[in-house]
Structure 1
Amino acid sequence: MTQTGPLSGIRVLDLTSVLFGPYAAQILGDWGADVIKVEPLTGDAWRYTGQFRNRGMSGQFMAVNRNKRSLAIDLKHPDGKSVLQRLIPSADVLVTNIRPAALARLGFGYESCEQLNPRLIYAAATGFGQDGPWAKRPAFDEVIQAASGLASSIGSDEEPEFVPSLVGDKICAFALAGAVSAALFRREQTGTGQMVEVPMLETIAGFNSIEMFGGAAFEPPIGPIGYKRMKERRPVRTKDGWLTMLPYSGENWCAFFEAVGRPELIEELCVKDPVLRSQNIDKIYACMNEIGPTRTTSQWEELLLRLDVPHTAFARISEIDQQPHLKAVEMFTIIDHPSEGKVRQARPSTRFSESPAAIRRVPPRLGEHSREILEEAGFDEREIEVLLNGKGMALGS
């Protein structure tokens, strides 16, 4: 199979499950890496979460496990351990979200893997930094949203709210893919591997602090914490729907209020001065909510496009593949899966002009590539049969 993408030639052992780790490994696969998904004999738990045509192949699982081959082994079984030990010397990257202490007990902590392959990039997707008191705690997206302050930012200190999306896992997946790429670059310079850790709590807390520190970005604080503008921003109701419109610069605001026949608001709300405009932002957005219902969504879009004011109508998630820009760039594609039929997925969004990312492999069935991977690792037919009979691994159907 033709390899494409800037990571072509890189082999990744993916010892992850559910979302954070698998999504990071899929990004590396989209970027050209040969990703071997090492699964327990029961499979990644994410295989059974959400809707599916066939058990073990849910849409959610397939969304983060394309461009991978599946190897099903039992790492608690001596035979399963021997397989992974044979694979590690040929790998460039090992990605895991198994808790570090548990993986070390199995014999695959960083120090053990480094002895097998000094060039290995050992990437640990953790919930909490392993040098902190919460190192051994289990972590899920809602736990991280709560502990990082993100839920407080979305709601309030008095009544926090979760983002209705697994944003912590997905943001951290991009951070992990970037960290692995950086470590691979350093290896090209030095010839040696290293351990990379991306802890969810620290990553999301830092991500959230950028604008949410507010006045607390200074010591001592010079104002309240938080970003008031985000609290005031709301979808604007139009005559027949909803719109987001975000005049941004002083020129934008002046042009906007002139065009809607409210020029007096330019001076009244001090929109020319960025500092005073920020102080009046709640009043400004209140005026926009009053003005919104005077036009239809399409009338607003025609006007705002002419004024060069940032805006868009709201896309329904049920119709997201028909959003005009996304449809034009063919963001969503239909792939033909041999057992699951036609499957809709988002293509890789990152563009590489000389080494394009691509969907090369459909999401694998459990253990689908076990024999193929063992043969590549140098196992002969007799050894493979012994492994199968010993119950330390499984072949896919």
Structure 2
Amino acid sequence: MTTSQPGTPGSPPLPYSGLTVVEWAGDPAGEGTGRLLVELGADVIKIEPPQGSPTRRIGPFAHDVVSADTSLTFWYYNFGKRSVVSDGSESDQALLHRLLVGADVLLITLRPREIAAAGLDYSELLTTHPQLIILSVTAFGLDGPWADYRTCDLVGLAAGGPLASCGYDDHSIPPIRPGGNQGYHTATSFAHCGLLLALLDRQRTGAGQLVDVSMHESLAVSGELANPYWFYPKVLVHRQTCRHAQPVPTQPALFRCADDRWVYFALILADRKPWDALVAWMESLGVAADLTDTAYDDLAHRQQNFAHIQELIECLFLLQDATTAYHEGQRRGLPIGPVNAPEDVLDDEHLQARNFFTTVAFDSDLSALVPTSPYRFSSFQTVAPTRAPRLGEHTGHVPAAKEADR
């Protein structure tokens, strides 16, 4: 399925077509939420300070040119938005009120201290704009003893708990943060869900409301196995190399291949069907050794001889390159996958077949290959990425356009 811009002749409207969002956000959690809304048809107007959003100063930078308009980080989180900068001729609050006339959502990431410094009062905003939904996405929520604490993706993952489950078998090494802004993106997912609920409620009541989303709380309920193990048997899980944290160590699941790449293979000894498929595969390559003996039909025997089985599996993968092992294992119905580097993902045949990546041009000299929406819908098409706005590109135009639309 390809993507298209809203308004393509003959195409149905997108879920957020006609939804106007004013974004006052300066971190990936807020900006990522705005990008999700753009992909589904919303018009997102981004308020920036004169120096630009903080993400404009985060690299890498296109062609290694450091400027407010060349940050690939900013591009990624802000495709398709419009940028408005207060030039000092009016207060931020006056600009905000002008933009909120007819707006549906205020997406904002200010902490309570910053809200007070900006002279904002969310209750007054809702009184002035009764249909407005204020979507607040902050580190620790709008109240409580940590409400004004600063954060980053690493702090969020640490304070929320998931970081304790991430790392290596060697526990003399500290926990390791997973890449990709996983903490911010978890908050983004919860923020989107909260907004959907508020929009549904507005359909019923006609009234807006404040939605208070905490990154900390989003992560505190995202600890995977750590939470149920503590809630019920009261035991702690321990991090393991490239596999789920568990109360007791489990078998390694990474195997080196002939081309020096790695595959992840989850061997489940207790399930007879994948065991038989594995042994047949190993036998076809001459490395099954004694695993074909009837003694291995017994689960207890397999468990007792696991170290021996593991050594033979290592031989199996050393005979093949990672791609061959991946496809052959999958053909035999086994849970196996290659450990891809980011550059490998760009060449992934499956993602290419689904047109997941596309090139977006910022101007005649600057372009980047970017991911499209992860959504695929049968009744409508999502928005193809368009370039992120230059700093203040729409200042002076957006308010006038909104007045004309009224």
TM range (shorter): 0.7 to 0.9
Structure 1 Cα separation of the partners of residues 358 and 346 of structure 2:
9
Change (3 A) 1:303 1:78: closer
Instruction: Please name the residue that 1:237 is paired with.
Output: 256
- Residues 106-132 of structure 1: CA deviation (Å, up to 9, x unaligned): 233321210121111111111113332
**8 Å CA contact 2:253, 2:265 repeated in 1:** no
Segment of structure 1 superposing worse, 57-66 or 125-134: 125-134
Q: 2:203 aligns with which of 188, 198, 220?
A: 188
Who is 1:52 aligned against? 62
- Structure 2 equivalent of residue 217 of structure 1: 231
Q: Does 1:293 align with 2:323?
A: no
Where 1:24 maps in the other structure, the secondary structure is helix
More helix, by proportion: 1
In angstroms, what is the RMSD of aligned CA positions? 2.9
Task: Describe the shift of the 1:316–1:112 C-alpha distance in structure 2 as closer, same or farther (beyond 3 A).
Answer: same
Q: Secondary structure at the match of 1:64?
A: helix
Deviation of residue 338 (structure 1)?
A: 2.6
In structure 2, do the counterparts of structure 1 residues 286 and 142 end up closer, same or farther at CA, with 3 Å as the change threshold? farther
The one-letter code sitting in structure 2 at the alignment partner of 1:243 is V
State the Cα deviation string for residues 4-61 of structure 1 (Å, max 9, x = none): 5211110000100131110110111111100001111111011121023451121111
Work out which of the residue numbers 81, 96, 99 in structure 2 matches 1:84: 96
Q: Tell me how far apart the structure 2 counterparts of residues 36 and 16 of structure 1 sit (CA, whole Å).
A: 11
2:372 alignment partner in structure 1: 347
Taking the aligned partners of 2:361 and 2:160, their CA distance within structure 1 comes to 40
Q: Tell me, which stretches of 5 or more residues in structure 2 are unaligned?
A: 8-12, 246-250, 283-287
Task: Render the CA deviation track for 1:334-368: whole Å, top value 9, x for unaligned.
Answer: 01223652221111111222232113642100111
Helix, strand or coil at the partner of 1:370: coil
TM-score, structure 1 as length reference: 0.83
Which residue of the partner structure matches residue 120 of structure 1? 132
- Give the C-alpha shift of residue 282 in structure 1: 8.4
1:336 aligned onto 2:361: yes
SS of residue paired to 1:179: helix
- Per the normalisation by structure 2, the TM-score is 0.82
**Cα distance in 1, alignment partners of residues 297 and 334 from structure 2:** 19
Over 3 Å counting, the alpha-carbon distance change for 1:215 and 1:287 in structure 2 is farther
Secondary structure at the counterpart of residue 95 of structure 2: helix
Q: Is the 8 A contact 1:100 1:109 kept in 2?
A: no
Residues 162 and 222 in structure 2, CA contact (< 8 A), matched pair in contact too: no
Structure 1 stretches lacking a partner, 5+ long: 380-397
d(CA) in 1 for partners of 2:24 and 2:305? 51
Name the structure 2 match of 1:263: 292
CA contact (8 A) 1:269 1:283 kept: no
Identity in percent: 26
Residue aligning to 2:248? none
Which residue matches 1:359?
A: 384
- Contact kept, 8 Å, 1:37 with 1:70, in 2: the verdict is yes
- For residues 247 and 26 of structure 1, the distance between their equivalents in structure 2, rounded to whole angstroms, comes to 39
Residues 1-397 of structure 1: pairs in structure 2 closer than 5 A: 2-3=6-7, 5-50=14-59, 51-53=61-63, 55-57=67-69, 58-73=71-86, 78-155=90-167, 159-208=174-223, 210-213=224-227, 215-218=229-232, 221=234, 223-226=235-238, 230=244, 232-240=251-259, 241-247=261-267, 249-260=271-282, 261=288, 262-264=291-293, 266-267=296-297, 269-270=299-300, 288-289=313-314, 291-338=316-363, 341-359=366-384, 361-378=386-403
Residues 205 and 286 of structure 1, relative CA distance in 2, 3 Å threshold: farther
Q: Secondary structure at the match of 1:36?
A: strand
Tell me, in whole angstroms, the C-alpha distance in 2 between the residues paired with 1:162 and 1:283. 33
What are the superposed Cα offsets for residues 54-109 of structure 1, whole Å, 9 maximum, x if unpaired?
Answer: 511211110110121111116x8744322211221311111111113322442333
